Each structure stands twice: as structure tokens, then as C-alpha cells.
Amino acid sequence: MIGCEAKVVTSIEAKRLGEIVYEQGGVRHSAPAKAEEGAFIPQGSQVRILDEMAGTFVVKEI
């Protein structure tokens, strides 16, 4: 999943978790996510998955 694009469905607040949706093999998945460097990312934003730590994706707005 690293390097893939996803959409924020629950805003990611500074240093708090939000939620993203992404597709893998034609199936839609949702997962918790946090922003790189604690940035705020609003709902509806497109992000890139940078890393995964203990089931939580680290993302950056694109």
C-alpha cells in the first residue's frame, strides 16, 4: 500500500487519527490514518500513503 493514493473520509486533525479509504485488488478498504508531521488534512482530500505503523497509515496530502 505504500505509495498508493487514498481519500480522507474523516478529517485528520493535528496529531490525531482520521480515516482513509483506498482500493486494493478492486476492493475498497478503510483504515485509520495520521498525517506526516502532524498536519491537518480535511475530509475529501487526496493523500499518498507513505508508511504503515501498527495498523495506522501515515499519509501526506497531494
DSSP letters along 3-57, please? T-EEEEEE-B-TTS-EEEEEEETTEEEEEEEEEGGG--B-TT-EEEEEEEETTEE
Q: Bigger pLDDT: 1 or 13?
A: 13
How open is the CA angle 49-53-54, to the nearest 5 degrees?
130
pLDDT at position 16 is 92
Q: Walk me through the domains of the chain, giving residue ranges and CATH numbers.
A: 5-61 (2.40.50.140)
User: Could you tell me whether strands 27-35 and 56-61 are parallel, antiparallel, or unpaired per DSSP bridges?
Assistant: parallel
The x, y and z cell numbers of residue 2, run together, are 505504500
* Residue 37: pLDDT over 90: no
Of residues 46 and 37, the one with the higher pLDDT is 46
